[in-house]
């Protein structure tokens, strides 16, 4: 087992960071008034303001032009096909450098590994259909969203109520999707619906995926869901009212949509872990720097055992999460089974980030609660990550199922 990172991966991570420092940071400075206040960032409905949407598109397309945007897209779709080790390392590198709350960086320079750009989910789309849309997706001109969750079907996908009924050479889809990232601004949606009631009742499948243009009649995003501490968000509710979709826009085999969806979600969980490690490293660096200059009783607080204990626990937590995540990524790149390990990594990394952010705020005292240092923004982001792509409790259930079935490795 070799968990070292190649020089190529390190060089690419450095190049992405340079792009952010030189070009994205300049755009942020030029648009500081717009991006620094949520009253300007979002419109009255909670969606990104049109000017922000335009800036995000500008950064996306520049990232694609430089070759970063599709680093993790499958080679069969025209992406660079960089593996799990690269995805984890580069996500960590970027997040450790920029920290939280960068609206022109998070999911823009490097998109969600299964939702946007040349998503591996699109491998299951008819090749001719994919080719018609490939250029717009690969260039960052257009974006997607991933519609699996519903008001009554989050962790339990078999509670799904959205239905797709066969109609001639196509399908008619009706239902509601909720908690869908990028829904308010997406040009395409990957939507999953029940196509076989009997299989769903038996929990043996019966769900099918579809690739839909959001301009299709009957498709709408009536509401945005403001998330923790924000005036708006990029998360929305999708309404599907008799949306007609040609069969050629189906994702994979009929009734086999869950394997299509879960494969994408697993990739997202691992990339999320890399982001968590990077953000935790960023927070720890802030705490160490502050502890060296903040004094009580005439000496830096870094000399106090209580502060040292908090910093040591954070460093240990980060090391454990990084070791676990690199091992899991290595397993995936080697083609080894990793379902249990992916759940372990997602659970541990997100909970680790919560602990580290909390302790780093504590090191800063009252300063940690201010908006100026961005630690409180990181804390809110950390708390959010324990729920998307499978809650901690769902990950524990998956881990327990594998262990109780004899997987004690």
Whether 253 contacts 205, CB under 8 Å: no
Q: Which fold has domain 259-404?
A: Butyryl-CoA Dehydrogenase, subunit A; domain 3 (1.20.140)
What pLDDT shows up at residue 262? 81
Q: Which CATH code for domain 7-138? A: 1.10.540
Q: Is 18 exposed, middle or buried (0-12, 13-18, 19+ CB in 10 A)?
A: exposed
Render pLDDT for 183-207 as a digit per residue (tens, 0 to 9). Answer: 999 999 999 999 999 999 999 999 9
Question: 7-138 with 259-404: one CATH topology?
Answer: no
Q: What is the mean pLDDT of each run of 10 residues along the chain (409 residues)?
A: 87 96 96 93 96 97 96 94 93 95 86 86 96 97 96 89 97 97 96 97 97 98 93 96 98 95 80 96 98 96 98 98 95 92 97 98 96 93 92 95 93
What pLDDT shows up at residue 365? 96
What pLDDT shows up at residue 88? 94
Residue 10, strand partner residues: none
Q: Is 104 exposed, middle or buried (0-12, 13-18, 19+ CB in 10 A)?
A: buried
Residue 295, strand partner residues: 300
Render pLDDT for 234-259 as a digit per residue (tens, 0 to 9). Answer: 999 999 999 999 999 999 999 999 99
pTM: 0.94
Backbone angles phi, psi at 219, to 5 degrees: -95, 125
What pLDDT shows up at residue 342? 96
What pLDDT shows up at residue 154? 81
What pLDDT shows up at residue 373? 93
Q: Which CATH code for domain 144-255? A: 2.40.110.10
The structural domains of the chain, with segments of one domain joined by +, span 7-138, 144-255, 259-404
């Amino acid at each position: 087992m070799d968990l070292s990172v190649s020089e190529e991966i390190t060089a690419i991570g450095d190049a992405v960071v340079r792009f952010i420092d030189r070009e994205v940071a300049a755009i942020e400075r030029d648009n500081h008034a717009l991006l620094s206040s949520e009253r300007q960032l979002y419109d009255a409905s909670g969606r990104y303001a049109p000017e922000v949407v335009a800036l995000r598109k500008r950064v996306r397309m520049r990232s694609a032009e430089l070759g970063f945007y599709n680093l993790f897209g499958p080679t069969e779709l025209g992406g660079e096909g960089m593996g799990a080790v690269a995805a984890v390392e580069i996500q960590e590198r970027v997040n450790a450098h920029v920290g939280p709350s960068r609206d022109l960086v998070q999911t823009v320079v490097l998109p969600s590994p299964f939702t946007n750009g040349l998503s591996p989910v699109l491998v299951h789309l008819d090749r001719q259909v994919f080719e018609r849309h490939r250029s717009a997706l690969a260039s960052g001109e257009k974006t997607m969203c991933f519609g699996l969750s519903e008001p009554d079907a989050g962790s339990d996908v078999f509670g799904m109520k959205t239905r797709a009924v066969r109609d001639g050479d196509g399908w008619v889809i009706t239902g509601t999707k909720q908690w869908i990232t990028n829904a308010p601004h997406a040009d395409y949606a990957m939507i999953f619906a029940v196509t076989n009631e009997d299989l769903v009742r038996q929990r043996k499948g019966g769900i099918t995926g579809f690739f839909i243009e959001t301009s299709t009649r009957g498709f709408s995003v009536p509401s945005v869901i403001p998330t923790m501490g924000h005036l708006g968000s990029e998360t929305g509710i999708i309404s599907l009212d008799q949306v007609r979709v040609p069969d050629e826009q189906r994702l994979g085999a009929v009734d086999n949509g869950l394997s299509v969806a879960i494969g994408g979600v697993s990739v997202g969980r691992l990339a999320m872990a890399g982001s968590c490690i990077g953000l935790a490293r960023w927070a720890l660096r802030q705490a160490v720097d502050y502890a060296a200059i903040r004094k009580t009783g005439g000496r830096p607080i870094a000399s106090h055992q209580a502060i040292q204990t908090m910093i040591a626990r954070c460093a240990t937590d980060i090391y454990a999460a990084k070791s676990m995540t690199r091992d899991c990524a290595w397993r995936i790149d080697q083609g080894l089974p990793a379902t249990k390990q992916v759940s372990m990594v997602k659970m541990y990394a997100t909970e680790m980030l919560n602990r580290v952010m909390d302790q780093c705020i504590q090191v800063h005292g009252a300063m940690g609660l201010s908006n100026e240092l961005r630690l409180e923004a990181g804390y809110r982001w950390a708390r959010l990550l324990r729920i998307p792509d499978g809650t901690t409790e769902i990950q524990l259930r998956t881990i327990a199922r594998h262990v109780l079935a004899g997987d004690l490795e």
